[in-house]
Amino acid sequence: MDIEKRVSELVEEKIADRSDLFLVDVKMHPPGKLIILVDGDNGVAIEDCAAISRHVGFHLEEENAIDHAYNLEVSSPGIDTPLKLERQYRKNIGRNVRIKLADGSKREGKLLAIDDDGVRIAETVKLKGKKAETTEVSIPLKDISETKVLISFK
């Protein structure tokens, strides 16, 4: 049995009546750490994580799906977790992001939009001796290897 696939099904089943919540990722890390990342358009409450954990844990035990000791961890993606889904990008429109491109270069700016082709950011570039200039840049999704939200403590 593909445990990550089964856990994904169980999570989707639990949040089916919650259109604001969505599954981001399921990973089984050796020797036995099962991590479920769930996000929400308006964040995720600890009660939601607990309910998902109970639902998944109950069914995995009932089905005897994992034959060794494991830890089940349900949380929302941390601030250092890269954006993975279009819905996460949408949720973060208006925030500053750092995008690492497939060629290794990086771009930074305010996330303006996402569509099927890519993302648009407002990038501020300061050239020596000149005033900083903000330009709109489109980046194809296929060129992006990682996008992280930048947190400002100002």
Q: How far apart are CA 150 and CA 136, in angstroms?
A: 18
Q: Are strands 33-40 and 71-75 parallel, antiparallel or unpaired?
A: parallel
Instruction: State the residue range of the domain holding 10.
Output: 3-75
Model pLDDT for residues 35-73, shown as the tens digit of each residue: 999 999 999 999 999 999 999 999 999 999 888 889 999
Output the domain CATH number for residue 96: 2.30.30.100
Residue 132's φ and ψ, nearest 5 degrees, are -60, 140
Q: What is the mean pLDDT of residues 68-93?
A: 93
Quickly state the pLDDT bin for 78 (edges 50, 70, 90): confident
Task: Give the torsion sign (CA, 150, 112, 44, 55).
Answer: negative
Q: Is residue 35 part of a domain?
A: yes
Helix (H, G, I), strand (E, B) or coil at 81: coil
Local structure of residue 1 (DSSP, 8 states): -
Tell me the pLDDT of the chain averaged across its residues.
93
pLDDT at 152: 78
Q: 105 and 70 in one domain?
A: no
**Spatial contact of 95 and 114, defined as CB atoms under 8 Å apart:** no
Residue 154: pLDDT over 80: no
Instruction: Tell me what percent of the residues of the chain surpass a pLDDT of 90.
Output: 80
52 falls within a domain: yes
Task: Tell whether 103 and 143 lie within a shared domain.
Answer: yes
Q: Is 152 helix (H, G, I), strand (E, B) or coil?
A: coil
Final residue before a domain boundary, out of 48, 75, 102? 75
Name the band, by pLDDT with cuts 50, 70 and 90, for residue 136: very high
Domain boundary among 75, 94, 116: 75
Residue 106 has pLDDT above 90, yes or no: yes
Residue 117 · residue 140 · CB < 8 Å = yes
Q: Is residue 136 part of a domain?
A: yes
Please indicate, yes or no, whether residues 60 and 105 belong to a single structural domain of this protein.
no
Structural domain includes residue 30: yes
Region 122-132: what's the mean pLDDT?
85
**Residue holding tokens 């035990």?**
61
What's the total number of domains in the chain?
2
